[in-house]
Structure 1
Amino acid sequence: MAGGWLPVWWTLLLVLASMAGEAVGRFVVEKNSLRVTSPPGLRGVYECAIGNFGMPQYGGTMHGVVIYPKSNMKACKGFDDFDLSFKPKPGGLPVFLLVDRGDCYFTTKGWNAQSAGAAAVLVADDKLEPLITMDSPESSGTDYIENITVPSALVTKKFGDDLKKALENGDMVNVLLDWRESLPHPDERVEYEFWTNSNDECGAKCDMQMNFVRNFRGTAQVLEKRGYTQFTPHYITWYCPEAFVLSQQCKSQCINHGRYCAPDPEQDFDIGYDGKDVVVQNLIQICLFRVANETGKPWVWWDYVHDFAIRCPMREKKYTRDCANGVIKSLGLDIEKINRCVGDPAADEENPVLKAEQDAQIGRGTRGDVTILPTLVVNDKQYRGKLEKSAVLRAVCSGFEETTEPDVCLSEAIQTNQCLENNGGCWMDNANNFTACKDTFRGRVCECPLVHGVKFAGDGYTHCEASGVGRCQINNGGCWKEARNEKTFSACSHEVSEGCKCPPGFKGDGIKICEDIDECKEKLSCQCKECTCDNTWGSYECSCGGSNMLYIREHDTCITKSSTSSLGWTFLWIIFLGLALAGVGAYAVYKYRLRSYMDSEIRTIMAQYMPLDNQETPNQHRPVEHADI
C-alpha cells in the first residue's frame, strides 16, 4: 500500500506521546484464580492472567484435568497432524491443555487446542516475569479468532514447570478455574463502560465491534431502561507532540491544534478519510450520549451508533457531518445542543469533553490504563475475552450481587441449561418429572424441590423424598401403596410427617413392599374352639360352625343365637318384675308414713280438749282423805 509505512510510524508516535508524562498510568493484568485440587504436593490457589480472546466464564467455574501433549507442545500446528485428540470420553472431566509459550500467536495456540477438543488452554510462560495479558494479533489472516470460544490463561514459568513435573511423575492433575471474583459485585446495579471508536475501516476488529453493537443493542437497552445497569461510552484519543503540531500528518490526524488525534482509518494518508474525521465523529457520539442522558434516555446512544454505521459508512463516502445530522434528526434529538457540545474543532484550545475522555483513559484504583480498542470495563475491572453478546452479558451479569441478577441473566442467550444434559447429575423422579436440578447463572445446583407446596428433603444428588404434612399427595410420600378388590392400603399417613409404615394387617419396609399378614396362620385371632378363621387381604374374618352360632369379635368367642335370645327376654322380665316390686314397696312405705303422720296430728288436736287416760291435767288434785272422827 502506498505510504503504508507512515501510518505505522505515526501510530507509534501518537501512542508514545499519549504515555509521555503520565507516570501514574499503568497497564493492569486482569486475573482469575486457578485452584489445583490434586495431587497433594501441588494443591493450592494460583494466579493466572485472563486471555484477551475466547470466552472466560465470568461468574462461574470450570473443573478439568490437565494434559501436556507429547508432541506439538507449543500448539503452533493443528493436533490432527499428530493424531492427537483431547475430547473427554463419556463421563470424563474436561481437558485443560497445557502448552508452552513461543513461536506463534497466543490465539493460534487457543484455536488449535479448541479444535482438538480441549475445554480450556493454559499457556506456560517461557521466562521468569510477571504475568501479562495474552492479546489478539493485529495482522490479517487470523479469521479464526472470532471462532475461539474456550477460555485461556497464562501461568508463570515456575507453575508451568511444576505442572509438567507432576504429569511426568504420573500424577493426575485436577484444576478448578474460577472466574467468580474476577469482577466485583458490590450492589444491585452494574456500572460498565465501552471504550470504542467510530472508525469502521480498521478490518476485523472494526467488524467485530459493529457486530457486537448490533447484537448487544437490545439487551443493553433493556438493562438500562429497567435500571439494572449504568452504561457510559468512551473514546480513546491521543495528542500530537508539540514539535510536530504544524506537520501535515498532525494537521490531518488531529483537531484543536494537535490536542486530540486518531490514526488514519485506512492507514494511508493519501486516500479516504483522515484521523481528524474520526475524532470529530467520536466527539459527536460522546455529545449525543450526554444530551440523551440529560433527557433520561441514555440508551438512544446504541440506536445512533447502530444506525450511523449502516447509513454513513466510510466505504460509501458517507462518513460526514451531514449524514450524522440526518441520523440525529431521525432519533428526535436536539441537534443544536449536540453541536454546542461539540464546539469548534479548529480552535486552538482545549475541548472539555475530549479532555475528560483523555483523563478517563488513565488507570485509577485497581483498573489500569485503557490502551486496547475495543475495551469493556465492568465495575471498574477491564473485561478480557471475546467481544460477543453472550460472553459480555455473562460478564455484566457476574457484576451483580448474588441473587439480585435480573431475569435477562437467566435467559438462554447467555447460558446453556446444565439440567438438560443428564439432569445435571442431580436426583430426578422420572415418573412424575420432579427434579432437584436448578439452573442458575452461576451454574446448576442440586437442591430437592418444592412441589405443590410439599417440600422434598434429601441430598439432592441421589435421594429426595416428600416430607412434612401433605407429603402423601406427592408420589404417596415415596411409600408403598396398593389397591385390590376396590380396597386401597398405603404405608404413608398424613398424621406421620416422616417415614413409611405398613398399615395394620401388613408387614414390610413400608417403602417397596407391605405383605399381608395371615392372622389365621399365625394364630393371632379366632382361637376359640368353635371359631373358623378366613384370611383376607389386610384383615381376616371369623365365623362359628352352624347357622345358630354368632361370633363375638371383642371376646373372641362363639355363642348360640337362641340362647342369646332367651337370655335376653329373661333378663328383660327380671328387670320388669324388679321395677314392679320396687314400685309396690315404695307405695307401701308412702302409705305407712302418711298414716302415721295423720294419727300424730289427730292426737295432738284431741289432747287440747279431752285429756286422755294416760295424761295428767295440770290443775287436777287428788281428793283429801278425812280421819275418823
Structure 2
Amino acid sequence: MGGRSPPAGWRRWVRTRLLLLLLVVLALAATAAVEGRFVVEKNSLRVTSPAALRGVYECAIGNFGMPQYGGTMHGVVVYPKANTKACKPFADFGLSFNPKAGGLPVFLLVDRGDCYFTTKGWNAQTAGAAAVLVADDRAEPLITMDTPESSGKEHLENITVPSALVSKRFGDDLKGALENGDMVNVLLDWRESLPHPDERVEYEFWTNSNDECGAKCDMQMSFVRDFRGVAQVLEQRGYTQFAPHYITWYCPEAFVLSAQCRSQCVNHGRYCAPDPEQDFTTGYDGKDVVVQNLIQICLFKVANESRKPWLWWDYVHDFAIRCPMKEKKYTTDCAHGVIKSLGMDIDKITQCVGDPDADEDNPVLKAEQDAQIGHGARGDVTILPTFVVNNRQYRGKLDKRAVLRAICSGFEETTEPDICLTQDIQTNQCLENNGGCWLDKNTNFTACKDTFRGRVCECPVVNGVKFVGDGYTHCEASGVGRCQINNGGCWKETRNGKSVSACSNEQAKGCKCPQGFKGDGIHGCEDVDECKERLFCQCKDCSCENTWGSYECGCGGSNMLYMREHDTCISKVATSSLGWGFMWVIFFGLGFAGVGAYAVYKYRLRSYMDSEIRAIMAQYMPLENQETSSHQRHVEHADI
C-alpha cells in the first residue's frame, strides 16, 4: 500500500473528522473565553383540578412550535395509553386527541426519550393535541428543548402547537392523578414570560448571512421576507428599537496559522464562522461569511445614524435574492451593488468594515462578541437564529405571527400599537357583552378597551373630553366641553324654539337643573310654578302668570307698570309727568346757572382790565394827588 493514495471515502472521512475536531475546538475556545450562562426561558402552568395538585408550576418553553406570548391556554391533560414517548404517529395506534364539540383542548403529556423533541411535537399535533407537555425522564433542572441539527427537520417548519418540558416529579404526579381517574385541568400562562415595562419594545435579531445551513437558513430567509414589512412599520412609527447581531468565535492561538483557521477566520483568527458546506476544499469559507456579516452590521450602523434603521431589512432581503451562495454570487461586489440600489453611502460602510486581514481587533466584531455574552435576565446567545425581546430570549418557531405576538407582549398594557390588536394576533374581548364594561346605548360610547392581554374597563376620552367613573357601571363626561358630548349625560328639552339644559361647562361634572326648574338633572327637570309657590309677584296690585322655566308678572289697569327688581307696581302717567317736570327744572336751572356764570366772568374781566390800565398810566402820567404830595415834601424840606 506504500505507493497508493488513500481511497476517496477515506479522505472524506478524515476531512469530516478534522472539521468536527476544529468545530469542537472553536466551541470549547468560545466557552473558555467567557463564563457561559444559558438561561432556560419559562412560562407557568397552573393546575386548577384536582385539588391535590392545585397550584402553579414552572415549565420550560420549547424552541419550536408557537408559544402564545402574552396569552393563556386552558385545556385538559391526557396521557396516551400507547406510544407514550410519541416517537411514532398516533394514527398507527388508532389514537386521536381532537376535542369533542364543546370540550376543552387536549394537552398531550408524553415522556422524554428515544426521539427528537420536534418529532414528539409533530406527532402530538397531527393527532389533534392543542399543546404538548414533555415529562423529563431524569431528576434535573429544566432544560430548553431545541430543534435538531441533522435530522428530523421535515417537521420543523410545520409545528405550530406550543410545547413545554415539565420536571420528572411533576410529570409523575400528573400521571398518578390520571391513573386515579381524576380530571386534570391546567392553564398554560405566557403573560409574564417576557417583560413589558413601557410603551416601547427593544428587540434584537441574532442571525447569519450564510444561506447554506439547511432548514434553519431556509426558515430564516422566509422569516425575513415575511416579517420585513411589519418590522419596518414598527420601527418607522417609533414603537420599537431594533438591532441585528451576528455570532462569531475565535480560533485558539495554537491553530491560528493552520489552513482551517485561515479559511474560517479574519483578523488573524480573532473572528471565525463555520464553513458553510462543512468542507474546507469547496465553495465558500467561514471567512467569507464573517465578511458578509460585518458588511451587514456596518450597513445597519450607517442606516441607524441616518435615522433609517429599517433599511437593514431591505438589504438582507435583497442580498439573499441577488447574491446567493448556490449561484456563486456571495461576494463583496454583489453586496456593493445591493447597497447602491438602496442609495446608501458605500464609503462609510467600507470604512466601518475595515481591513479583514489586519492583525488587530476589529471594533465592530469585538462589540458583537461582547454582546453575545448574557447580561441581566438574558443568557448567552448560542442558538441561531435567536430573537431577544426586552432582553429576554424568545423561544419557539421563527414565524411572523409568533414573533409579532412576542413583540406585542413586550408593550405595557394599553400602549400596544393597532397591529397587535388584529384578529390574527389576539381575540377582541370587547365584542362579547362589551367585555362587562360600561356602555352608553344612546351613543355607543364604551369603557371597554381591547388590549393584547385581554381587556380593561376604563372610561374613555371622546373628542378631547374625558369621561370619569368606575368603568364598569358608570362613566360621565367631565371638564370643559363635556356638554358637547351627549349633553354631558344630562337632561335637555326644547319647547317653542327655546332649549333648556341641565349641563353647564362651568361645572366639572354632574347635572343641575337651571333656574326655574327642579329635578335631578339627569332623568328630567320639572318646571317650577313660581305663581303657585308665591315666590314672586307678591305686591298688592300684582298678577302672576307661570311660563315654562320662568313667569310673567302684571299690574291691574293699563296705566300700571310692574318693576321686577322691586316687586311693585307704579303708575305710568305719574311717572311720565314727574319725569318731564323734573327735566324742565333741570333745563332752566342749567340756563340760569349759565347766565350767572357769564355775568360773573364779564365782571371779573372788566375789573382786571381796569386795574391793569391804571397801573400802566400811573407809570407815565402821575396823577394829581401824587404831584401835590411831592410839592409838599419839597416845601417841608426847605423849612428845615
The TM-score, its normalising length taken from structure 1, stands at: 0.69
Change (3 A) 1:444 1:121: farther
Cα deviation for residue 110 of structure 1 reads 0.7
Aligned to 2:402: 391
| Distance of 1:449 and 1:290 partners within structure 2 | 42
Match of 1:381, as an amino acid? R
Query: 69, 72, 81: which one pairs with 1:70?
Result: 81
Mapped pair 1:400 → 2:400 = no
SS at match of 1:118: coil
Query: 15, 25, 44: which one pairs with 2:55?
Result: 44
SS at match of 1:86: coil
| Distance of 1:424 and 1:175 partners within structure 2 | 27
SS at match of 1:12: helix
| Distance of 2:171 and 2:521 partners within structure 1 | 56
Aligned to 2:31: 19
8 Å CA contact 2:136, 2:171 repeated in 1: yes
| Distance of 1:78 and 1:300 partners within structure 2 | 44
Change (3 A) 1:162 1:141: closer
8 Å CA contact 1:52, 1:135 repeated in 2: yes
Mapped pair 1:7 → 2:25 = no
Cα deviation for residue 94 of structure 1 reads 1.1
Match of 1:20, as an amino acid? A
Aligned to 2:168: 157
Aligned to 1:582: none
8 Å CA contact 1:423, 1:437 repeated in 2: no
> Is 70-79 or 436-445 further displaced after alignment?
436-445
Query: 273, 277, 295: which one pairs with 1:284?
Result: 295
Q: What is the 5 A alignment of 1:222-233? A: 222-233=233-244
Change (3 A) 1:6 1:49: same
Change (3 A) 1:306 1:45: same
Mapped pair 1:89 → 2:89 = no
| Distance of 1:104 and 1:294 partners within structure 2 | 48
Match of 2:386, as an amino acid? T
Offset from partner CA, 1:371-400 (integer Å, 9 cap, x none): 000001100000000100010000011001
| Distance of 2:101 and 2:471 partners within structure 1 | 24
Change (3 A) 1:207 1:361: same
Cα deviation for residue 416 of structure 1 reads 5.4
Change (3 A) 1:447 1:322: same
| Distance of 2:462 and 2:182 partners within structure 1 | 45
SS at match of 2:170: helix
Query: 285, 293, 310: which one pairs with 2:321?
Result: 310
Change (3 A) 1:424 1:29: farther
| Distance of 1:409 and 1:129 partners within structure 2 | 37
| Distance of 1:136 and 1:313 partners within structure 2 | 25
Cα deviation for residue 440 of structure 1 reads 3.9
Change (3 A) 1:101 1:236: same
Mapped pair 1:323 → 2:349 = no
Match of 1:96, as an amino acid? F
| Distance of 2:318 and 2:391 partners within structure 1 | 29
Query: 190, 194, 201: which one pairs with 1:190?
Result: 201
| Distance of 2:434 and 2:99 partners within structure 1 | 17
8 Å CA contact 1:311, 1:323 repeated in 2: yes
How many residue pairs end up in the alignment?
471
Aligned to 2:513: none
SS at match of 1:281: helix
% identical aligned pairs: 78
8 Å CA contact 2:62, 2:395 repeated in 1: yes
Change (3 A) 1:74 1:450: farther
Match of 1:124, as an amino acid? A
Mapped pair 1:144 → 2:151 = no
Q: What is the 5 A alignment of 1:296-445? A: 296-415=307-426, 440-443=451-454
SS at match of 2:420: helix
Offset from partner CA, 1:541-569 (integer Å, 9 cap, x none): xxxxxxxxxxxxxxxxxxxxxxxxxxxxx
Q: What is the 5 A alignment of 1:249-264? A: 249-264=260-275
Cα deviation for residue 410 of structure 1 reads 1.1
Q: CA RMSD in A?
A: 3.4
Change (3 A) 1:82 1:180: same
Match of 2:201, as an amino acid? V
| Distance of 2:315 and 2:257 partners within structure 1 | 34
Cα deviation for residue 102 of structure 1 reads 0.4
8 Å CA contact 1:467, 1:498 repeated in 2: no
SS at match of 1:20: helix
Cα deviation for residue 450 of structure 1 reads 12
Aligned to 1:134: 145
Match of 2:38, as an amino acid? F
Aligned to 2:226: 215
8 Å CA contact 1:10, 1:263 repeated in 2: no
Aligned to 2:547: none
| Distance of 1:284 and 1:458 partners within structure 2 | 55
| Distance of 1:222 and 1:123 partners within structure 2 | 38
Give ranges in structure 1 of 5+ residues lacking alignment.
474-494, 500-629
8 Å CA contact 1:6, 1:268 repeated in 2: no
Cα deviation for residue 411 of structure 1 reads 2.2
SS at match of 2:37: coil
Aligned to 1:110: 121
